[in-house]
Amino acid sequence: MGRVLGKVMKDNTGWNVVVENKPGGGGVAMFTGLSQMPPNGKTIGMGVSIPVLVQLVNRGDQLPFDVDSFDYLGTVAKAELALVASKDAPFDDLESMVAYAKDEGAFPLATMAPPQVLMMNQTKAATGAEFNLVTADGGAEVMKLILGGQVLAGFGSGEHYPYLESGDMKVIAGANQARLSYAPDTKTFIESGVAAYVDPIFFLAMPKGTDPAATTAIAAAIDEAIKAPEFEEIVQNAVKGAPINMGVDGTKQMMVDGLANAKVLFAK
């Protein structure tokens, strides 16, 4: 998405936009570097909110930045995260899954990232149910584990769509703050009594103190670029949804609210 966004911005504005991958720590390495760049209006960072926020809560005293270290430019997309199970699983929603775990004992459930582990820890704290969490190497492996019967349920961020369409899987709960767009009748963890959520939102920021004229111009260019058909297509392919721009102020508030939620994920 970042590469297509950069291309469309370049096409629209004539600016020289160079896209570089800066992996590491779920975006922490990139935002660490960004926080130490001069605020000259020439460097933008694009990352995903939840892994950064979790790291800020988990080891914020070791990081050289916080949510106030950046000038925010907007968002481009939100990934929808679901807890899914095979069609033959002996439960259909989070409440019945919890009841099953209490009656039958802990069963294997696949996760692919630390925030999902934290969600299940909060589910345990809220309900008293035990789960045997299995760490998978990505969503594709979660699907294999579910279909192979090695786990009864697991998290998916899009890898499960073909199996929903074929009828081989069903959605148990939505892990986002709002209900899943493709499963509006399925309750969220919050609605099922677990006061936490995981909202992976793709956002953009610049070093704090950038000239407001620059941030305003770049934010406007981003807002225009996400409306392009080719960007809408890449977002649809990546997260199975439409582009979403919360704007400058909305993006900052999203990070502030997200930090508070991340603290809930770590609550004992």
Question: The CATH number of the domain where 118 resides is what?
Answer: 3.40.190.10
Angle subtended by helix axes 247-265 and 49-59, to nearest 10 = 50
Say whether both 40 and 89 belong to one domain. Answer: no
Model pLDDT, residue 267: 79
pLDDT for the residue numbered 26? 85
Distance CA 52, CA 192 (A): 26
Distance CA 212, CA 220 (A): 12
> Cα(207)–Cα(35) distance, rounded to whole angstroms?
5
How far apart are alpha carbons 76 and 259 in whole angstroms? 19
Of 57, 81, 50, 54, the residue nearest 203 (C-alpha)? 50
Question: What is the torsional sign of CA 251, 253, 259, 260?
Answer: negative
Report residues of the chain scoring pLDDT below 70: none
Q: Note the pTM of the prediction, 2 decimals.
A: 0.87
Boundary (domain end) residue, out of 158, 176, 192: 192
List CB contacts of 69: < 8 A, sequence separation 6 or more. Answer: 31, 35, 207, 208
Same domain, 168 and 231: no
Q: Give the pLDDT score at 188.
A: 98
Predicted pLDDT of residue 238: 86
Please say which residue of 192, 223, 256 terminates a domain. Answer: 192
**Same domain, yes or no: 104 and 183:** yes
Output the pLDDT for position 123: 96
Together in a domain, 172 and 259 = no
49 within 8 A of 238, measured Cβ to Cβ = no
Q: Is 214 helix (H, G, I), strand (E, B) or coil?
A: helix
49: domain CATH number?
3.40.190.150
Domain boundary among 175, 192, 209: 192
Structure confidence at residue 189 (pLDDT): 97
180 and 212 both lie in a single domain: no
Looking at the fold, whether 151 and 233 belong to one and the same domain comes out as no
- Do both 55 and 21 map to the same domain? yes
Boundaries of domain holding 127 = 82-192
Query: Please, are residues 10 and 17 in contact by the beta-carbon 8 Å criterion?
Result: yes
Structural domain count, the chain: 2
Q: Are residues 94 and 56 in the same domain?
A: no
Q: Please tell me whether residues 133 and 36 are part of one structural domain.
A: no
Mark whether 173 and 220 lie in a shared domain: no
91/161 same-domain check: yes
